[in-house]
Each structure stands twice: as C-alpha cells, then as structure tokens.
A = this chain, B = another copy of it.
C-alpha cells in the first residue's frame, strides 16, 4: 500500500491503478501513450515525478523510469534531470512534411524549388535518350553510380569546396534518402544525435523511425553554440551531429567560417559523426562572402557530406550525392545496397548531362533570380532583419506572437487558403516560448500567387494594422 495519500496533492496524471496489468512497465507506458494520443494530456504538461508516481501506484520507482523511457523513445515525452518529465510538443501527431495538392491551397508550407525551371530539364531528356549507351543505364550495374556520373558529381561539388575521389562518393535517391541511409548505416537504436533546437522536421521523423534520440543544442545568429555542444557532449554520450551549415532549415541561419572551426574542434574532440546536409550549397558557395568551405573539409574522416540536386536542379529526379571518409565507406555502401539496391542510372544520367552541358548552372541562376524576387516580395510584407539568415533562402522564419496553439493556427490559415507550418513542428526537443512560422517561398505556382498568399497571411497575423 502506498505510504501517503495523494488526494490533497493533485497529480497531473493519475493512471487507474486497477488498469495496470503485468508487466507493469509496459502496461503503464501504454496507458500513458493512450492518454497523450487521446489528448487528455496536452503538450508541455508536467508528468508526476518518477518517485511520486511510484509511491502512488505502489511500485518501485525504476519501474516508472522504464515506462517513461518507452514513451520517451517514441517521442511522446521528454525528461529533464532536475526539473521533471513533460509531454513532448509533437507527441500526438506526425510532423512529416510532404507535398499536398489535394486541397486548393496556396502552399507556403512544403518547400519546393521554383518548379518553373523544369522546362530546361525537358530538353536534356531528349539528349539522354539518344545516347548510344542508353541500354547500359537499364541494368543492375554500378549501384553507386557510373564512373562518368560520379566524375560529374565531383565536378559539381568542386565549386562548393568538396574534393574527393570515385571511391568516396555515391549517388543516392535524393537528400532525404541520403539521410535515411546515413542513419541506418552509422547509428544504432538508442544513439544520440545533436541538432539545432529547431531542425528539419523530416529529420526528426527519420530519427524517430530509427529510434535515435535528438539532443537539442542552443544556438545564436551564427548557428549552434560550440560551448553548448561541448557541455552536452561531456555530460552524456552523443554519437553524431546533424548540421546544415549553408542555410539551416527552418531558421535560415548560415554558419560562418569561425564558427565552423569551433564546432569542428568539439566534434573532433568527441569523435562525433557529422551529417552535413549541404542542400543549399548552390545558394551559398561563391555568393555569400562569409562562406569558405563545407565542414566536410575540416573533418573528412568523420563526416558524411550530402549534396542533393532536388532543390538546386530538379526535384522530380531523385538524385543526391553522398561523400564520405574511408572509415565510414563500407557501412554506407552496405546501407545503400540494402535500402536502395541502386539509384536509377537514367535519372543520374540526366543530372549528369545537365551538369556537363552547363544547363544545371543555367537552372541554378534562374532559381537564384526567382529566390531573389521571392525574398524581395516577402520583405515587402515582412521586413527582413538584415543581420540574420540567408538572403536567398527558399523559405523564411517569421517570429509571431500570441499563437501558441499550433494546430489551431495551421487550421485557421488553411481556412484562409494558406498552407504554412508552425515552429513547433521543427522542435527537436522541449518547447520554447518563442514562436515562428516557416514561410516557403518556392512552392507557389507563380510569384503573384506568392504575393496573394503573403498578403492574406499578413492580414491574418496583424488584422488591426491592415484595417488602418
């Protein structure tokens, strides 16, 4: 029997003692999961401390620890030593972001890539199907890419500062696919990966699939703070780190060279595996003055560099390049064979042809121009703070106030024909008081439609000013 009565000290969660079956820890975890998914326990709710709940249920407190752990690994709750256990921000729903053309909405949510440039790609298809070696693209050969395709890939990445050889590059089916391969190849369930407080939501979901725990690290305008990373690394066992130095998703933060060096030194010291998603390299290298090199160059033996072509060249062709050190090579190749077998050599050939013919550069400059225009339009509605963020980003990070109910805000805006995502979707760990919206600029059918969307959004967020 419990020693104390808890009737006077209300606990936020009082599971029915009679509903508990053996094994207790599984049964309790499933009760908690149900109550969270059914909405009885809202995001951010503090759960009873382990010892208190144990006393209430007349169990040993480590049995509660076990139950809480199950829910934590599922991403339903998170625990902070010293302060307690809380219901996670995105506990009750998936935050995977995918395209959605079913409703007739102005899409400021999913980040596409100014699909207007795809007309240029069309021509190249004709050229590729007339190649004499077309038939050689249709078999199982060269699962990581045909040599001349890899050469083109290396050529493409050279302008971003990447230097590698044929043995240390592989062609995979898009950047997201590369992330899945990296997680499968290099991490195990229960491993921890450091990320920015706000990070790419599909990476969060991917981590959930592989049961990898994300450890949010504080940052400033220059990206993740090295001393915060150092602190976490010295406290708990962290295995990897995920960064998008050229332009973080969703915050648009660029990491300058000095910060890259500092971070690299912490990463080196603690032997973390760095996953560098450089999907925005084409918007940054040679354009932004601070940009010197990818972090891969600083840590070649403990880094996977991922360069997707969906944002820069063509989204429908699912092609990305992975570059990796020799120490990681074998594992990554195995994971590629097991998850993809190979990537369509035809798709890779079209990308190759686009690169070699110079059309890829043409597309990139068109996309840059479109990004410039879209950002100009954006700044008409929401003036940019000059000191923060990438000027050509395909999305913007808009601070908002007084809209704490994420689901409500997104739903409300849908009623106004706008699809947009709230910052809580991008939270890698606990919730924060600051709230934002990520506004995709590259997904509308035209810049005019973008204008319409931003106008509606502004009116919604700030109705008084608009009326005046």
Give A contacts to B, CB under 8 Å. 94, 96-99, 101, 110, 112-113, 115, 118-119, 121-122, 125-126, 129, 134-135, 137-143, 173-174, 176-177, 180, 184, 188-189, 202, 205-206, 209-211, 310, 314-318, 334-335, 337-347
Contacts and interface: CB of A to CB of B under 8 A. Distances in A.
6 contacts: A96-B334, A129-B129, A139-B316, A177-B339, A316-B346, A339-B339
Contacts of A97: 337
B135 A122 contact: yes
Nearest to A126: B129
B112 A317 contact: no
A138 B317 contact: yes
Given A129-B129, A139-B315, A184-B210, 15 more contacts: A99-B140, A112-B139, A118-B139, A122-B129, A122-B134, A126-B129, A138-B316, A139-B316, A140-B316, A173-B340, A176-B339, A176-B341, A180-B339, A189-B211, A344-B347
Nearest to A211: B189
Contacts of A338: 96, 176, 180, 202, 205-206, 209
Q: Which among A94, A125, A189 has the highest number of chain B CB atoms within 10 Å?
A: A125
A122 B132 CA distance: 10
Number of copies of this chain that the complex holds:
2
A53 B338 CA distance: 36
A130 to B, nearest CB: 8
Q: Which 4 A-B pairs have the closest CB atoms?
A: A138-B316, A118-B138, A189-B189, A98-B337
B122 A138 contact: yes
Contacts of A112: 139-140
A415 B68 CA distance: 56
Contacts of A121: 135, 138
A177 B318 contact: no
Question: Is chain A's interface secondary structure helix, strand, loop, or mixed overall?
Answer: loop
Given A99-B141, A126-B129, A344 B317 contact: yes
A123 to B, nearest CB: 10
B141 A202 contact: no
Nearest to A317: B344
A210 B206 CA distance: 13
B202 A184 contact: no
A140 B125 CA distance: 18
Nearest to A190: B189
B318 A341 contact: yes
B173 A173 contact: yes
Contacts of A341: 98, 174, 176-177, 310, 318
B118 A135 contact: yes
Contacts of A141: 99, 101
Contacts of A110: 140
Contacts of A314: 138
A174 B347 CA distance: 14
A445 to B, nearest CB: 11
A414 B289 CA distance: 55
Contacts of A96: 334, 337-338
A173 B118 CA distance: 22
Contacts of A137: 316
Contacts of A310: 140, 341
A374 B314 CA distance: 42
A134 B316 CA distance: 11
A113 B141 CA distance: 12
Contacts of A342: 316, 318
Contact of A99 (B98, B143, B315, B343): B143
Contact of A211 (B115, B188, B344): B188
